[in-house]
Amino acid sequence: MINIIVAYANGRVIGKDGKIPWHLPDDIQHFKRITSGHIVVMGRKTFASIGRPLPHRRNIVLTSNKSLATPGVEVVHHKDDVLALGDVFIIGGESVYRQFLEVAQRLYITEIALEIDGDAFFPEWDHQSFTMVSAQPGILNEQNTLPHTFNVYERK
């Protein structure tokens, strides 16, 4: 099953200058809880922004760069290589989300109530093709100052 997990601000902003332009520990914990023990697939730029393999996950980097080799990650070069893996979580960035959105069966979307400039965006998606199966408000406290909601959608 292809799962997508993403956090985006208003306007589907996911990044600015190669970084996530907010700090939200509640979403980081949510991401860890959902993806731990699973295969995560990311693009080269997303991997570079993280800077290391994510622990307790099988890390796959999808890139056209044939010379990329990094300890702790597996490198694949084609969408079909990812589809052959079975149950995976697509974790970004923009171009990788775009490649897999049409075949994703489940979307884990953290919507953050934040107006911010960005240069990387989650693609527009057809809400009519999905059913929302859960919506959970996130924690608001001194460390988590941005209103956010954890939504899960399944393809109809």
**Structural domains counted in the chain:** 1
Q: Cα separation of 123 and 125, whole Å? A: 6
Give the range of the structural domain holding residue 52, as residue numbers without chain letter: 2-155
Q: Model confidence over 89-143: pLDDT tens digits?
A: 999 999 999 999 999 999 999 999 999 999 999 999 999 999 999 999 999 999 9
Mean local confidence (pLDDT), 145-154: 99
DSSP letter for each residue of 107-155: EEEEEE------SEEPPP--GGGEEEEEEEEPP-SSS--S-EEEEEEEE
- Residue 54 corresponds to which amino acid? L
Q: What is the CATH number of the domain that holds 81?
A: 3.40.430.10
pTM of the model: 0.96
24 phi and psi angles, rounded to 5 deg: -140, 85
Average pLDDT over residues 32-58: 97
User: Given this model, what pLDDT does residue 66 score?
Assistant: 86
pLDDT (0 to 100) of residue 67: 86
pLDDT in tens, 61-92: 999 988 888 889 999 999 999 999 999 999 99
Please answer whether residues 93 and 42 qualify as being in contact, where contact means their C-beta atoms are separated by less than 8 angstroms. yes
* Phi, psi dihedral angles at 102 (to 5 degrees): -70, -20
Q: What pLDDT was estimated at residue 14?
A: 98
What's the confidence (pLDDT) of residue 68? 85
The answer to whether 47 and 61 have CB atoms below 8 angstroms apart is yes
Mean pLDDT in residue range 18-46: 97
Q: Which residues contact 118 (CB under 8 A, 6 or more apart)?
A: 9, 11, 13, 14, 15, 16, 21
